Amino acid sequence: MPEPAGQHSSHAETSRPAQGSALRTAHTGVTAAVADGWVAGGSFFGSIMAGTLLGWLADRWLDTEPWLIVVGIVLGSVNGFYRLWMVGRVPTGKQPVAGR
């Protein structure tokens, strides 16, 4: 039977704070995961761009086009994958635990 307006059962009052708390915790976890993803992706992209830029500058300085830019892209990619691997290996404590 529906409750009269303005009155709530004690069960509904006790379940709402727990539900809100769980939602806040889930939201915080998702936000942290997205932030970690942006940091890892930015680091990966930055490594490739830095290698490309350094290779391009070295090519212009030594007049060896396009060889050093290719070397810069390859070395930047290797460095980017290494940094991505290192970020992925370190436990952050934000990973979900089995059974929760």
For residue 35, tell me if it sits in a domain: no
Q: Can you tell me the distance from the alpha carbon of 40 to that of 49, in angstroms, rounded to the nearest whole number?
A: 14
Residue 18 has, within 13 A of its CA and on its CB side, a CA count of 5
7 located within any domain: no
Dihedrals phi, psi of 66, to nearest 5 degrees: -100, 15
Residues 6+ apart with CB under 8 A from 50: 76
Residue range 71-86, pLDDT digits in tens? 999 999 999 999 988 8
What's the pLDDT score for residue 25? 67
Number of folded domains that form the chain: 1
- Answer whether residue 33 is part of any domain: no
Q: Residue 57 domain-assigned? A: yes
Residue 47 lies in a domain: yes
The verdict on residue 96 lying in a domain is: no
CA distance 59 to 13: 69
| Tens of pLDDT, residues 36-55 | 888 889 999 999 999 999 99
Q: What is the DSSP letter of 4?
A: P
> Is residue 99 assigned to a domain?
no
Residue 68 belongs to domain spanning = 40-91
Q: What's the predicted TM-score (pTM) here? A: 0.63
